[in-house]
Structure 1
Amino acid sequence: MSQQSTNPRPVETFTVGDHISDAFGVHKLVHALPYVNGDGQRAQALTLVPLDSGEPFVAKYTEGTKLTPAGDAEVGEYADKGRRLALAEALRRLADDIVEHRLPLTAYRFTVSTGHLDSQAEVQRWAEYLGVEVGRSGASKDIAVANSSRPIADRLSFDVHAQGNANPVAEPPAVEV
């Protein structure tokens, strides 16, 4: 992960919604409680939620302790990693539930869709992974698609569909008569 963090600042200057970067990653501050610790020093108890994975936790700091705010790029990277880890965990749970017969599987196809991707280059990455060519949607020439249907068992296929914004099609130059 990149180190896009800004200059450290005292813990008491952080507010709910800020992002803090440390050796363990990037965390969102969801609660701050000022208090006086057992040594009579003013302190802050911060509830932090890791952006990439893990459980929320409470960290305690004496006032004046310097923490590093996370930069926008760093927040984006860790948030993306968190979304990817969450999706992977959800797919593992789904797979476990199918294997353990907690879900019916009577269909002849099981389909996964990426949703709408931002660019044809992203669709191309999926096409290469799936071993297929990028095509155009039948509904709109502005949508690039990559579809794969692979038999995985008797009477069962695993289908993957990726779509996104297509590169503009160059219009042929007008011919004057």
Structure 2
Amino acid sequence: MNLIPTALPGVLILEPRVFADSRGFFYESFNARAFEALTGVSTRFVQDNHSASSRGVLRGLHYQLENTQGKLVRVTQGEVLDVAVDLRRSSASFGQWVAVTLSAENHRQLWVPEGFAHGFVVISERAEFLYKTTDYYNPAAERCIRWDDPDLAIDWQLQQPPLLSAKDQAGQWLRDAELFP
């Protein structure tokens, strides 16, 4: 597996070694020993999630104040623009974001540590998105930052307004949100 640092310390792109031939391909999508050796992160994943969305669906920017979740995310069908935002007030990169294209073709994964908001927009006709989390989903602790927050100024590379859930439409501005210390 190849490790590519991003502009945000701790947010990492992982590229697995893919074995392809005329029959298709094979790769190891997760190995705890290899993940720890490569990233220096010792963690335990407790929940796997799988979502399917159509072009233009934007999910995020989500995080949990309690039961904070590190996320290892990947796409198994289609393509998304995946975004992580540092919400740790004590961090030198507070309020900064990074965007990475994840697709079924590039097999890339993104490690989003605890203390970051996460979201993605589907740029293919359809995408299936899988992610492992380091803690369980806690709806009472979930928060959402608006995707279009002017203080973040995320370039979602949108051609038209995104399709949003009611929860995402009701997201908070960064300046008003409950954040990490």
When the two structures are superposed, what TM-score results if normalisation uses the length of structure 1? 0.23
In terms of Rg, which structure is larger? 1
More helix by share: 1
Higher relative contact order structure (alpha carbons within 8 Å, sequence separation ≥ 6): 2
